[in-house]
Structure 1
Amino acid sequence: MENLVVPIKNKSYEIYIGSGLLSTNKIFDDNVYSDQVLIVTNNIVAPLYLDTVKASLKNKDIASIILKDGENQKNLDSFSKIIDKLIKNKFNRESYIIALGGGVIGDIAGFAAASYQRGINYIQVPTTLLAQVDSSIGGKTAVNHIKAKNMIGAFYQPKCVISDTDTLNTLPKREFLSGLAEVIKHSLIMDPEFFDWLESNYEKVVNYDKKSLKFLIKKNCELKSSIVAEDEKEKGIRALLNLGHTFGHALETMTGYNKLLHGEAVAIGISIVSQISYELGLLGSDNLDRIIKIFNNVGLPTKIDKIDPEELIDCIYLDKKIDLSGLRLILLNKIGKASIIQAPEKIKLISLLKKILNG
């Protein structure tokens, strides 16, 4: 088992990475200090792991709620179901929520924990690659609005993250590959050597080589934790973690939260901003080619059909990354270095998107 610490002032917590952790009683004993525990999961994960986690929570007053799977379930209705369950079971301010599932479950359960009685404890138990390398770390919690993704939420850190790598064995291949988009993203914004490693080792990764996956998960946890520790609430450098997400979130919204997995949308989003970076003279063609190639090699999309550039622009102008000076974009200067810039004026951005999306 590997242990990492996310060193946030007065809120530090551990990430546990390893095999068989869901059935390791000691990890739960060491981190759950209340008798009242609500496990939030979904209808895909529950048959696989809910009983295992319950067995590891010895002598606890355990309740559970099983939501439907999918990004389109990340809404206020699901949030309300969790709050209803907490109230019905008379959970107090010392109680715990355990988020057992992927990024959707982690986001909803975390937001419920942030909101119930103005904040109760929660633990992230991510069961997807995307959640293990990205969404379970850093305390971003939210639900979607029908017109924009993650518009309702809070920064709220978990008490710990328990990443059992065995759960990846039951993850559908498409979901597994989706998680690699966030892995590639981390390398693009801050670690060119890791990008080189991905280029050389992607075949091992997509074929579930245990040694490669263990290295990959730990490396991504280290990279993300270093940024979160420096900028917990995204006032500066943490915004770089949004590479590809402005366009990716807009694409998820425009397709009804049911066509693209999050990682697939992020992969397309990164491809778009990489091409924008190239068109603006920030990114060299050799770097652009390598970025598109790595997504192709791991089986992630870089394009999407039937998207109107003007509608896409209208959607991204609902993004959270807009401030008083306008829309900010995360663009690439080279592999391993990203920057935050004010977006080109709207008419120029539409022209760029028409060239990229219709090219």
Structure 2
Amino acid sequence: MKIALVSPYDYPYPGGVTEHVQHLERMFSERGHEVKIIAPSSTEKDQLDENVYKVGGIVPLPASGSIVRITLSPRAYRTVKRILNDEQFDVIHCHEPLMPVLPLVVLRHSKTVNIGTFHAYRESHIGYYYAKPILQRFMRRLHGRICVSAAAFEMVNRYFPGQYRIIPNGIDLEEFGDSVQPLPQFCDGKLNILFLGRMEERKGFRYLLNAFPAVKQQFPEARLIVAGGYSEEDIAPFRRQVAEHKIPDVVFVGRVSAEDKPRYYRTCHVFCAPSTGFESQGIVLLEAMASGKPLVASDIPGYRSVVTHGQNGLLVPPRNEIALAAALTRLLASPELRDELGRCGRQQVQRFSWQRVADEILDYYEEVRHKVQRRKQLLEVLHAR
């Protein structure tokens, strides 16, 4: 098949949707399919891979407690029309198909089979609510609809009821396997708690930092490692908090490379995801599980599809520093419980392998293409009469 993967977000700027698209491109190409990526980018065109079509520059906009990096370029209309006319794709797969403006323009011009994947979760969506009459027209152009989790399905189905297939985000299990070595600078006998994420309010880091002194009181050998795509400006208030309250053993390491990320998971004793909401699944949870690490995570809809309390991790109420500290100390106090939860997580994460996810999506493509072809044949017969 000739497949287009469309993302509304800055490519290849790090993010869940971008990584999802990158993995699908690799999996599909390995299976002999021709794959093109259509996305906006802040990267110069000659620095992108040959199979990437850059459509527009980037405008950062606040949305759902985060910053989305999308294009609003008026040139997208003509550029997309030319790309689709030249390529003649068998399947166009739009990720976040209702996000302005690129996926909408692609759906407007597409004359082939259109698939949409909905990644996001939030308790309500003001854009869907007010723009529903307009967006409904684009939803009708989707021949197949995928959601990455039950939480994502519940959100989009509330505004646009219909048939959806739940196919989760995937993970490269080998990348986080037993061959990964821990980072020697953190293998000094301390108990490592890892946070990996951006310093956005919805990621809940401040609740973890507020809980850490209580953990430290019971376990003086505890250490909090803070990694992720954040700037010095982002962490300045947290650095001040650490200094003013004299909180020891908080290590801000910043952005880590793709090569080092699995090593940080391997180094930690507990992985903590204290997000307050707006998470549809949580890739970091899958990565920690694949690394055999126990989880402490917020009890929010998107995380419940991954974490089973008492089996592969502990769920705590969001924004509850006391509960967060209690769960962390419980795991730090019991190597046996940590090992048990880690083993269970590694077993459960097998169903999220990218190989399995990619095959499931390709099977869905064929299923939808077959339905579209049958519908077309039926219409031809009816018109012939």
TM-score, with length taken from structure 1: 0.29
TM-score, with length taken from structure 2: 0.28
Higher radius of gyration, 1 or 2: 2
